[in-house]
Amino acid sequence: MSGFDTQAGVPLGDENDPRELPVFAQEIDLNAEQRSEPGAVVPGDGDYVLHADDLVAGYFPGVDILNGCSLTAKTGELIGIIGPNGAGKSTLLKAMFGLVRVHSGRVTLRGRDITNLRADALVKEGVGFVPQNNNVFPSLTIEENLQVGCYQNPKLFDQQFDQVVSIFPTIADRRKQRAGSLSGGERQMVAMGRALMMNPSVLLLDEPSAGLSPALQDEVFVNVKGINTAGVTVVIVEQNAARCLQIVDRGYVLDQGKNAYTGTGDQLARDPKVIELYLGTLAKA
Ligand SMILES: Nc1ncnc2c1ncn2[C@@H]1O[C@H](COP(=O)(O)OP(=O)(O)O)[C@@H](O)[C@H]1O
Ligand SMILES: [Mg+2]
Looking at residue 84, its pLDDT comes to 95
Q: How far is the CA of 78 from the centre of ligand 1 (A)?
A: 24
Ligand nearest to the CA of 83: 1
pLDDT digits (tens, 9 = 90+) for 4-25: 666 677 777 654 444 444 444 4
| Whole-number Å distance between alpha carbons of 127 and 165 | 20
Query: Is the confidence at residue 35, as pLDDT, over 60?
Result: no
Query: Average pLDDT, whole number, for the chain?
Result: 89
Kindly report the backbone phi and psi dihedral angles of residue 203, in degrees, each rounded to the nearest multiple of 5, phi listed first.
Answer: -120, 125
Instruction: State which amino acid sits at residue 141.
Output: T
Q: Are strands 258-264 and 250-255 parallel, antiparallel or unpaired?
A: antiparallel
Which atom of ligand 1 is the closest one to the Cα of 132? 21
Across the range 83-91, mean pLDDT stands at 96
Chain centroid offset of residue 28 CA? 19
Query: Is the C-beta atom of 157 inside 6 A of ligand 1?
Result: no
Query: Is the confidence at residue 68, as pLDDT, over 50?
Result: yes
Query: Is the C-beta atom of 101 inside 6 A of ligand 1?
Result: no
The pTM score is 0.90
| Whole-number Å distance between alpha carbons of 10 and 204 | 12
CB within 8 A of 55, min separation 6: which ones?
Answer: 66, 68, 69, 70, 92, 95, 102, 104, 105, 106, 107
pLDDT digits (tens, 9 = 90+) for 152-174: 999 999 999 999 999 999 999 99
Looking at residue 215, its pLDDT comes to 92
Query: Is the confidence at residue 193, as pLDDT, over 60?
Result: yes
Pick the more confident residue, 38 or 260. 260
Looking at residue 13, its pLDDT comes to 62
Query: Is the C-beta atom of 63 inside 6 A of ligand 1?
Result: no
Looking at residue 285, its pLDDT comes to 43
Residues around ion ligand 2, judged by CB within 5 A, are 89-90, 132
pLDDT digits (tens, 9 = 90+) for 214-262: 999 999 999 999 999 999 999 999 999 999 999 999 999 999 999 999 9
Pick the more confident residue, 227 or 43. 227
CA 269, 272, 274, 275 torsion: positive or negative? positive
